[in-house]
Chain A
Amino acid sequence: MITAAPRHLRASYDVVIVGGGPAGLEAAVAARDNGAAHVLVVDRDQEAGGILLQCIHSGFGLHRFGEELTGPEYAQRVVASTLEHDIDVIADAYVLDIDERRRVKLMTTQAGVSLVEARAVVLAMGARERTRAAIRIPGTRPAGIFTAGLAQRLVNLYGLLPGRRAVILGSGDIGLIMARRLTLEGIEVAGVFEIMPYANGLNRNIVQCLHDFDIPLHLSTTVVEIRGQNRVEGVTVAPLDETLQPRLDRAWDIPCDTLLVSIGLIPENELSQQMRLRFDSATRGPVVSSAMECSRDGIFACGNVVHIHDLVDFVSAEAMVAGRSAGQYVAGTLPRPDNVQLQPGANVAYCVPHTISTEREHTVYLRARKPLDACTLQLTEPDGTPVYARKLRYVFPAEMVNLKLRPAILQNFHGSILRVNIVERATEGE
């Protein structure tokens, strides 16, 4: 049932899921399939689907569905599957708080505040964008500055165009996608500026969103000033030297009425912080076990709220684990706790989950700190004793690495801490 009225809901559910993006919806289905009879998904937006609703471009679902879908098509499939599984979905409802007894406090425009009891909870609140404040660009505070995702929402859902001539700061995929989107809507895009010496987005987006429309990409360059009183009138950009300091002597001005900032996503974790879950300062999300369970019993998490995923397909895969575990928790069949802690080592920014079990098979997601060509992903004991190694053709911080860990690999490992490293390898051919 899809509803916006709390009076249609039960007073208690086996599993309540916060957030109706792909993570929440897939987790709901998995919870139903694994022992939970009554499952509720809560979303604050006017319908479920999450960020996918505004990602109208294609590139979703190759792993999950074996075909390339647009964001809305992917969302539609997961929403349909929740309905087939007799899961309740309430939209226009905001989760304010979850207390120690797992009572979920909802706020809706229709009924104000209400309480729903849950035996297990899955956190799937997704992520929000870093804003200009996060990178402190000097200058005035005029209108016309948007995060790329907000602009995407305005253009794709509300049909509101942000301006006439835009500059985009940051070469992540959202910025690149928006460069094309604005161009196709008749807005001139003067250029994309990236502080790093390499682009952060997929090559596919560099080609199909920038090259196709002759939009210049300036690497190692940033916006140093925003001008304009009421509305943005222009920005000043400057190349950076090796120490990442702007070379003001080589700065130039670009007239524009719009600046989009696309400088990354941060997990949306106010709620999890309120619940005092343990956090990982690298992912900015909760610490999770291989069951996707947080530091409090019966609280699970998945999707962008745990760490930023670049592919929704991996969000789905992770959500199936979280949902399955929530179902098993309710049914009392959750497998034995983990016995190994994963520790990010050389050139590894983080690994999720944070712990694993030597008895089961796991998919571990990790991110490299810096790009490397031919390299080796290795697992070692804390003292450096090798446990396992796999060759990689490359690593790239913008592309998540996933590592399938089977019990056989850890056969001869009896410790409790496993370090994960990505080290350079002398190029000796593939």
Chain B
Amino acid sequence: MSVEEKHATDLITVGYLCIGCPLGCRLEVDADTITNAVVEVRGYSCRRGKDYAIQEHTAPMRLVTTTVAVDAGLWARLPVRSRTPVPKDKVKAICKHLRSIRVTAPVASGAIIWVDDREPGIEIVASRAMPAR
């Protein structure tokens, strides 16, 4: 088997559930095991499904939404979100870190609660204003 042939046959197939609409097409992605490049997508019924499969396979992103503790606020927790979606594999660690954060009311809507200095672009902001109680 030549290198090129070997390369061409070293594909991994991964399944995804399309979230584009309630039809929930079962998508299959063939990707190169070494570069992870998508070679083929199957199972979609519309363009959205194909785009989604490629995005999900190569760079899945998620919006982080969780809460942090707030002292002296109307409620005990302040809802927060990432300003923009973050890489999926970062979500758990971000939320774990946010569990250790405490802020004090009043907090303005959109106020920056935490910036990850190791990951440029990850910024956690308040989803609402929190009045003092």
Contacts and interface: CB of A to CB of B under 8 A. Distances in A.
A203 B77 contact: no
Interface stretch (B1-9, B36-44, B60-68, B113-121): B60-68
B66 A56 contact: yes
A396 B22 contact: yes
Given A56-B66, A58-B63, A185-B99, A73 B22 contact: no
B13 interface: no
Contacts of B21: 203, 393-394
Contact of A58 (B16, B19, B81): B81
A72 B127 contact: yes
Contacts of B128: 72-73, 75-76
Contacts of A3: none
A178 to B, nearest CB: 13
Nearest to A181: B66
A370 interface: no
Contacts of B76: 157-159
B92 A56 contact: no
Interface in B76-133: 76-77, 79, 81, 88, 91-92, 95-96, 99, 109, 127-129
Interface in A44-63: 46-47, 53, 56-58
Given A394-B22, A396-B22, A156 B77 contact: yes
A34 B129 CA distance: 30
Contacts of A64: none
B58 to A, nearest CB: 16
Contacts of A402: none
A394 B67 contact: no
Nearest to B24: A203
Interface string B11-24: 00000111101111
A133 interface: no
A159 B69 contact: yes
B79 A72 contact: yes
Contacts of B81: 56, 58, 70
Contacts, number: 84
Interface residues of A, number: 36
- Centre residue among B17, B22, B74, B96 by max chain A CB count within 10 A: B22
- Centre residue among A71, A159, A184, A373 by max chain B CB count within 10 A: A184
Interface string A150-186: 0000011111000000000000000000000100111
Contacts of A58: 63, 65, 81
Given A56-B67, A76-B128, A211-B17, A70 B24 contact: no
A221 B84 CA distance: 37
B75 A157 contact: yes
A202 interface: yes
Contacts of A181: 66
Nearest to B19: A204
Contacts of A71: 79
Contacts of A184: 66, 91-92, 95
A169 B44 CA distance: 31
B65 A57 contact: yes
Given A70-B65, A184-B66, A202 B23 contact: no
Contacts of B88: 212
A208 B86 CA distance: 13
A399 interface: yes
A398 B22 CA distance: 9
Contacts of A56: 65-67, 79, 81, 127
Contacts of B129: 76
A72 B99 CA distance: 19
A175 B105 CA distance: 30
Interface of B: 16-19, 21-24, 62-63, 65-67, 69, 74-77, 79, 81, 88, 91-92, 95-96, 99, 109, 127-129
Given A56-B67, A202-B19, A212-B88, 13 more contacts: A72-B127, A73-B128, A155-B67, A155-B77, A157-B77, A158-B75, A184-B92, A185-B95, A186-B99, A203-B19, A207-B16, A212-B62, A394-B22
Interface of A: 46-47, 53, 56-58, 68, 70-73, 75-76, 155-159, 181, 184-186, 202-204, 206-208, 211-212, 373, 393-394, 396, 398-399
17 contacts: A58-B81, A68-B63, A73-B109, A73-B127, A73-B128, A155-B77, A157-B76, A158-B75, A184-B91, A185-B99, A186-B96, A203-B17, A206-B24, A207-B16, A212-B62, A393-B21, A396-B22
